[in-house]
Every structure is written in C-alpha cells, then in structure tokens.
Copies of this chain bind each other. A is one copy, B any other.
C-alpha cells in the first residue's frame, strides 16, 4: 500500500495512544479500517483505565468496530507490533493487512502473520518508538504485566 496513506491512518492510532497516556494508561493505540478506507473502529489499551487485561489497543479497535460479516480487505493499524494475542486476532478473523508504527521496543507476531499471507507495513515511526521507550523506562512493571512477562 501507499505509505502516505498508511501514515495518515497511523495518525489515528497515535491519537488513541496519546489519549491512553493522558488518562494514565499504556500508550498503545489502534484503528481498524475497512476495505473501502472507512474507519470501522478505534481504541487504545485499557488495562489501567478499566482494570481490563483483555483490552489491548487492537482488541479495543476490533471491539469498537462491532460485528462484521467479513474482515477481507480490512487493515489493522497499530502504533506497536502486535503481540501474540493481537496477532492471533488478525489471523483468525482474516484481517488482510497490518500497518505498524514501530517494532523496535517490542517485536510481536507480525513475521508469523506475514508467513500466513497478511500484508505487513512497518513504518519505523520515531514518535511511536519514543512514546513506548519513555513509557517502558518509567513503568517497567506495568509494561511487563501487559505482555505477560
């Protein structure tokens, strides 16, 4: 896909990540876009805000999109490489593409997704990386809790 388009969509995920951070949460955001480019859902990690370990950014965006008959052609945009939980979500529901802000602070399951036919667009975005670098440095225990380490 066009990287300019990917960056425009990433901005939605970054806005979500910043909203999560401002609310005292883990700064990871995501958005699910339809095959036609329409925004279907957006969200951010809600572990701290809702005491809910099941709401990673990607699962929150997926949830916000509601029930969909098919995910063919959809794109999950996320500020951070998706963990196994979120990678499994992408694979199970046949989400076609994942746009990733950065995979430097955490390398999840996106190589596995690529092996299984999901298009991966890795943007190496410095803003996304800086958000997580600072967060992990200041909140190592919370970060480890969020990824089960």
Q: Does the CB pair B148–A92 fall under 8 Å?
A: yes
Q: Are A54 and B47 in contact (CB under 8 A)?
A: no
- Considering only residues 35-53 of chain A, those with a C-beta below 8 Å from chain B are 47, 51-53
Say if the beta carbon of A66 comes within 8 Å of chain B.
yes
Q: How far is the CB of A90 from chain B (nearest CB, A)?
A: 8
Q: How far is it, in angstroms, between the C-alpha of A63 and the C-alpha of B87 when the chains are bound?
A: 18
Flag if A53 contacts B66 (CB, 8 Å): yes
Name A's B-contacting residues (CB within 8 A): 47, 51-54, 59, 62-63, 65-71, 83-89, 91-94, 109, 145, 147-149
A-B contact pairs, 8 of them (CB 8 A): A47-B67, A52-B63, A53-B66, A54-B62, A71-B148, A85-B88, A88-B109, A92-B148
Q: Is the CB of A84 within 8 A of B88?
A: yes
> A70: which B residues are within 8 A, CB to CB?
148
CA distance A31 to B51 in the complex (A): 19
Contact yes or no, A67 B88, CB < 8 A: no
Report yes or no: B62 in contact with A53, Cβ–Cβ below 8 A.
Answer: yes
